[in-house]
Amino acid sequence: MPGVELANFAVNNAFAEKHNAKGLGYLLFSGLIAPFVLEHAKMLGIYMIYLFALPYERLMKTYESYGFHRLPRKAEEQLHQRLKPAYDESCIFMYQLLHEMRH
């Protein structure tokens, strides 16, 4: 299924604490990234947005709060064998179908 990958989508904790920027990632995603992707989805021929999350429970829960999902364990393993870039070796594939996206 064609999609757009969010790469290096993270907010540095030290920056967020120093500048009182808690929630900055959500603001960027919901206010900029999601509207742009939704507006251009038909022209680009995409149906989902995805990322490879670092395997930290707190971070993955944050992405889940944005509407992202993990695949079932077996499907996730199969996807990682076929498509996972070496750069994202320890990361977990997470996706959001555009028709499910909150706007």
Query: Can you give the pLDDT of all 103 residues of the chain as single tens digits?
Result: 789 999 888 878 788 788 887 788 889 999 999 999 999 998 989 999 999 998 999 999 999 999 999 999 898 888 877 776 666 677 889 999 999 886 5
Structure tokens at 35: 């509207």
CATH of domain 3-100: 3.40.630.30
- What are the extents of the domains in the chain? 3-100
Q: What is the pTM of this model?
A: 0.83
Query: Please, are residues 37 and 98 in contact by the beta-carbon 8 Å criterion?
Result: yes
Taking phi first (over 0 means left), then psi (-120 to 50 degrees means alpha), and beta for anything else, what does residue 14 get?
alpha
CA atoms within 13 A on the CB side of 76: 15
